A and B are shown apart, each in its own frame.
Chain A
């Protein structure tokens, strides 16, 4: 493991502890939802970084289809796995927030449904990767499927939004108490650093696996 990866991971972990402590203890109590709202300090950063992971896998897919350089395939593999982990966490956090707020664990809200479809789409691509033995075909086919899955996200969001939505509209720093914005920003960077750590580690593991496969 590279030294910079360890430092980025530790920095992310430290910031997550600090940001979560600030959000849970020092940030003001939300007027309508009460303490339940404090899950936002991990939920929203997880959502942003999940989308970032799947967008990075789309970039990797285009990169592979364009250049046929293995580094892009490593990026596809590591970002899909990391995105699936953060996406699953996101769904669990969302359900924990939804039950006391909306009275149900799950609802067919645009953002919830988009995340569910996104996670299922990329889970299918991971399954595809495990079913293909030839590394070049695996890279090309999963890159193609990743492009199709990523392009689909706006359609899912638009369709479910037109049906109905319960989700609160996005807050902006202008409409939120600065004491709430600060821990949210700290945790956003904290989760980003943790994600970078996992993607970098996953990238190196993928590179070693490919080297071994291609040498056989």
Chain B
């Protein structure tokens, strides 16, 4: 058990150091997410009440669209010069490589998501009435729910033809429940949790995370083996 944890920690460390060197990836993903937020404002009309009501939806659709760029990029660097094959030669479990990759993707998405919150406040006048802490927790669980299946499908798509097309095609239907739960939880944070539904939606996100992180760790070996 300790051995497995050490391997996971080593892989997470490797991903984070790689992320630090490729800071432009985080900046690019954030810029893309911010651009989508602006576009949603124009597409949805200038009605202030409508924008405030839809802010949670804009936040998550923007984040999901941005995630395809970040997820795709995370495996593009591994497929170049056969880096993934080298990675598999390391004396670590494939599950640890999955955890490292998924945590790396989670960090990128979490940073972008947290950056989008103040922009939602400014652009849509959607101040989090339930407090920033609960909204940050929702963003953490929602991005964790996207990053696990996203990492699996990015691994699949990166080595197939038409990878840019395949990733959203495989990922978007799969994360529908996570988007629903994250939007509903964020809306409760923005507009007030009058019906006390926030905890139920967060529980759905936790359940989704548990299932997809477990399946990812279990099946990743099959995806990357030759």
Chain A contacts to B: CB under 8 angstroms = 65, 113, 117, 120-121, 123-125, 127-128, 131-133, 137, 140-141, 143-145, 147-149, 151-152, 155-156, 158-160, 162-163
Instruction: Give B150-202 interface residues, CB cut-off 8 Å to A.
Output: 152-153, 156-157, 159-162, 165-166, 169-170, 172-174, 176-178, 180-181, 184, 200-201
Whether A163 contacts B180 in the complex (CB less than 8 A), given A121-B174, A140-B223, comes out as yes
Q: Does B31 contact A (CB under 8 A)?
A: no
In the complex the two chains form, what is the Cα distance from A47 to B93 in whole Å?
41
Whether A65 contacts B219 in the complex (CB less than 8 A), given A144-B156, A145-B153, comes out as yes
Partner of B160, one of A120, A128, A162: A128
Partner of A120, one of B149, B166, B173: B173
Chain B positions 90 through 105: 1 when the CB is less than 8 Å from some CB of chain A, otherwise 0: 0000000000000000
Please tell me if the beta carbons of A163 and B184 are within 8 angstroms of each other in the complex: yes
Please tell me if the beta carbons of A145 and B170 are within 8 angstroms of each other in the complex: yes
Whether A156 contacts B176 in the complex (CB less than 8 A), given A125-B170, A131-B166, comes out as yes
In the complex the two chains form, what is the Cα distance from A101 to B166 in whole Å?
37
Please tell me if the beta carbons of B166 and A128 are within 8 angstroms of each other in the complex: yes
Contacts of B178 in A (CB 8 A): 155
Contacts of A137 in B (CB 8 A): 159
Partner of A145, one of B156, B211, B225: B156
Residue of A nearest to B168 (CB): A124
A interface, over-half SS: helix
Contacts of B184 in A (CB 8 A): 162-163
Q: Does B58 contact A (CB under 8 A)?
A: no
Whether A148 contacts B215 in the complex (CB less than 8 A), given A140-B223, A155-B204, A159-B204, comes out as yes
Q: Does B222 contact A (CB under 8 A)?
A: yes
In the complex the two chains form, what is the Cα distance from A155 to B209 in whole Å?
11
Partner of B180, one of A120, A123, A145, A160: A160
Partner of B156, one of A113, A133, A141: A141
Shortest beta-carbon distance, B201 to chain A, in Å?
Answer: 8
How many of chain B's residues have a CB under 8 angstroms from any CB in A? 34
Contacts of A162 in B (CB 8 A): 184, 200-201, 204
In the complex the two chains form, what is the Cα distance from A125 to B156 in whole Å?
11
Contacts of B159 in A (CB 8 A): 137
Partner of B177, one of A147, A148, A156: A156
Whether A117 contacts B173 in the complex (CB less than 8 A), given A124-B166, A145-B156, A148-B152, comes out as yes
- Name the residue in B177, B212, B219 with the highest tally of chain A Cβ atoms < 10 Å from its Cβ: B177
Q: Does B75 contact A (CB under 8 A)?
A: no
Please tell me if the beta carbons of B174 and A132 are within 8 angstroms of each other in the complex: no
Please tell me if the beta carbons of A148 and B176 are within 8 angstroms of each other in the complex: no
Shortest beta-carbon distance, B194 to chain A, in Å?
Answer: 16
Instruction: Give B16-40 interface residues, CB cut-off 8 Å to A.
Output: none
Whether A128 contacts B170 in the complex (CB less than 8 A), given A140-B222, A147-B219, A155-B204, comes out as yes
Q: Does B207 contact A (CB under 8 A)?
A: yes
In the complex the two chains form, what is the Cα distance from A117 to B157 in whole Å?
20
Contacts of B219 in A (CB 8 A): 65, 144, 147-148
Contacts of B222 in A (CB 8 A): 65, 140, 143-144
Please tell me if the beta carbons of B212 and A148 are within 8 angstroms of each other in the complex: yes
Residue of A nearest to B174 (CB): A152
Instruction: Give B121-172 interface residues, CB cut-off 8 Å to A.
Output: 149, 152-153, 156-157, 159-162, 165-166, 169-170, 172
